[in-house]
Structure 1
């Protein structure tokens, strides 16, 4: 090709390329007005959608970050054991328990708090240390039947929660010891409110204590009378609760025992299975009526035996098993000429299943120091039933 032809070809190529780019620039920047507005509207919608999608994504992420997570532990049933303040903490097996309830702190009429000396305080501290190593929570119970200064605890507790100043003082004392001793919560054991005014004062006390403890992510439980007569099966009306109170607590520990006092003295009415059935039905209906979760309900069982001879003392389940392990299969035993009534393994397992069948949140025992060691431990028997229920619930949620 000659130079002249080569130059001509280059001119033609450059002219074509220039026209192409010029046309493209013109078509992009000189659209009709209607088309330009339509494109802008589309672009705005796309930008708006993008912003909305991002906003929804961020909102969803925020909700996921702030909502309580449903963990396996949240579905687990509790196993709560009371332990008296004189028990050697080194003798307690914490491994099967979700909660230890250390008993008792004693209220004064002006809202102060008493423990049974340095021994009780040291035992509390050792219990907390040992329990936390096993991931077991420790709560401090206030009240009980007897007061450290003699007489019924009711006489002191009633006065303390009747006066607003003393009531607030008692709340502050309980919160203070919970913080100071690294407790996981407080258990209220007011035995028992005997009038509507008592019930209202107890509700006010419970609400005030609940508000502060829950802000600190600590738990609140309350021990309640069985509220059912062990012989005739009707409601006991000389113990009064305000049902709205139960919304403020995490656990309601039903003392489904001591029925032997309901009709004169009859040791066989300590805590037989039919009596417990009536109790479970009563509390189930009460909570359903007031639309309160049954998961708050915790069924209590006795780890002690009641003698037919009222002049004899109670004995522990451990004493019964130490006499003969065969007694684990029974609910009555005769030792040294005295007949005792108690709950053996079969009855305890049956009661645990009864509680689970009614949607209860777990089981409670009075008290851990009375249990037998080894394979006939009632704590172990309950724990195995609860563990099976927990495993089943976990599998259903997968």
Structure 2
């Protein structure tokens, strides 16, 4: 608590110095927030100059859905930010969008809802002539081919039909991937491209419910049946990855029987061989479940119960009641973005798709985190995509891009098109984490032509050894690495020395942003910090400095 005496001393100091440009005065040690600086100028005497007490800053951070779902990101941490980016979308080369959890709501033909059957509630019945189309969002990706997955379902076969599909993907009459019943009971076939393997399990018979799962990883496939967690391997040779072909994912074609609680995962999840459909929030991230059809809703029989949109609703529910105004925006990263931005038709399609998503789901804007364009032609193409997107979105939609000191030279038209540019002043090299490099990178961007008040400076909530792939979350340094000193920027963890930003360094960087007219702070990311209610939180430091700079009289 700052005492009245302290305020009097600061006021007296300001009067004695008679310098209206003075922004910061050191606070005695122990005055909260620890290490803070005060003395920001209040009302200016000159009538033509703005009142600097009205200055506000962007406090922006990212939400990754998997970590939100396992409770690594709290409502309090999200509420501490005034700009949140839900990072979930990726572009295809043609400008279409996909999501980390695509909405695989299925269309069913010749299949029907059953409220119950043989002890299971909410199931779908197939009569041999029907099928279920789960859409084109499964087992292919703009980020590359799948090398592993798991498919699981409860299955009741009323009549064993040779060639009946549990699932299949076909492109121009050529099989991409399929899983189907074999010639006689207990035999199953699994095909990728032109390669077919088989397996026999005598426990799999008609006339009873069975849990059936198949896992695939790097050319090897295994079958799990019922509660036996010991798999049976398919015999035969398979390719090391699934053809990365975009095509619809069908279920139940030619099948005579019932399905319940069907899911597809992007991992080889052998532990799901035993009663797997008991998902709760502490294992969703571990299972990477891409689609989950429960068949419990007769009005929406093909509803996918695990999608990015459901996560969006959960994020909004968690934010409900948090104090203050904030934006919740769509984050787009990765995918085939380099191909997309190089083609005018694809850029237009991309822009229209982004606008449709923002309108449909009532999001406050969009952020592009395309890493990274290096050549002049790539930067020019990226700039064209930025300008096109602004033209389609209109001037009132909040639109930003995230750049890095190794790749930031977009055109002046692109700079003018965005509301701000967040600058990733960290990694992958450890040398990029320092305060001096932070200042240098910011100045370089300003000298290039990015307006200072449009530059939101990025800070890391993680550490690195400087070697690719060797990063650690700040929260792990605290919770697992026994980090107690909040003023050191290096720490030994699991036998390796990690460079990161301490609370002191984050405070120093935030103060620099406030003092020098930058737009704010972007952090990567909420899941890698400890909760903002924790005294060791990095986000807590950012918020303290912004709050105090905006209103230093608040105690």
For the aligned pair, the TM-score class normalised by the smaller chain equals 0.5 to 0.7
Where does residue 320 of structure 1 map in the other structure? 477
In 2, the alpha carbon distance for the partners of 1:224 and 1:253 equals: 6
Alignment partners' CA distance in 2, 1:312 and 1:142? 22
Residues 253 and 239 of structure 1, relative CA distance in 2, 3 Å threshold:
closer
Greater relative contact order (Cα < 8 A, sep 6+): 2
Q: CA deviation at 1:191?
A: 1.2
SS at match of 1:223: strand
**Which consecutive segments of 4 or more residues in structure 1 shift more than 4 A?**
70-74
**Whole-Å Cα distance in 1 between the matches of residues 365 and 51 of structure 2?**
21
Equivalences for residues 159-174 of structure 1 within 5 A: 159-174=339-354
Report if the CA contact (8 A) 2:89-2:333 is conserved.
yes
TM-score, structure 1 length as denominator? Answer: 0.67
More strand per residue: 1 or 2? Answer: 2
Distance 1:163 1:100 in 2: 30
Following superposition of structure 1 onto structure 2, how do residues 263-302 of structure 1 map, counting pairs within 5 Å? Answer: 268-287=430-449, 293-302=451-460
Shift in Å, 1:141 = 1.4
Match of 2:60 in 1: 80
Residues 1:188 and 2:368 aligned together: yes
Partner of 1:235: none
Instruction: Output aligned runs, 1:1-398, within 5 Å.
Output: 75-88=55-68, 91-92=73-74, 93-117=77-101, 118-131=306-319, 133-134=321-322, 135-144=325-334, 153=335, 156-215=336-395, 217-227=396-406, 240-260=409-429, 268-287=430-449, 293-307=451-465, 310=467, 313-322=470-479, 323-373=481-531, 374-391=534-551
Distance apart, 1:286 and its partner CA = 2.3
What SS does the aligned partner of 2:78 have? Answer: coil
Given that 1:254 and 1:297 are in contact with CA atoms closer than 8 Å, whether structure 2 keeps it comes out as: yes
Shift of 1:351: 0.8
Paired residue for 2:277? Answer: none
1:78 and 1:361 in contact (8 A); partners too: yes
Whether the 8 Å contact between 1:81 and 1:97 is mirrored in structure 2 is yes
1:51-102 CA-to-partner distances (Å, cap 9, x unmatched) read xxxxxxxxxxxxxxxxxxx999984101000122312255322221001111
- Whole-Å separation in 1 of the counterparts to 2:401 and 2:544: 25
Conserved? CA contact 1:321–1:327, under 8 Å: no
The answer as to whether partners of 2:530 and 2:536 remain within 8 angstroms in 1 is yes
Secondary structure of the structure 2 residue equivalent to 1:340: strand
Distance 1:165 1:304 in 2: 38
Report the CA distance between 1:259 and its aligned residue. 4.5
Q: What do you get for the CA RMSD once the two structures are aligned? A: 2.6
TM-score scaled to structure 2, two decimals? 0.49
Asked whether the 8 Å contact 2:352–2:392 carries over to 1, the reply is no
Q: Distance in 1 between matches of 2:53 and 2:357?
A: 26
Structure 2: unaligned runs, 5 residues or longer: 1-49, 102-305
CA distance in 2, matches of 1:103, 1:75: 28
Deviations 1:251-299 (A, max 9, x none): 1000001141xxxxxxx32411121121011122223xxxx54211100
Instruction: State the SS of the aligned residue for 1:321.
Output: helix
* CA apart distance, 1:133: 4.3
Q: Distance in 2 between matches of 1:259 and 1:303?
A: 13
| Alignment correspondent of 1:67 | none
Displacement of 1:361 in angstroms is 0.8
Shift, 1:239, TM fit:
6.0
Q: Could you tell me how far apart the structure 1 residues matched to 2:388 and 2:359 are?
A: 16
Q: Choose between structure 1 and 2: higher helix proportion.
A: 1
**Residue 320 of structure 1, CA deviation:** 1.3
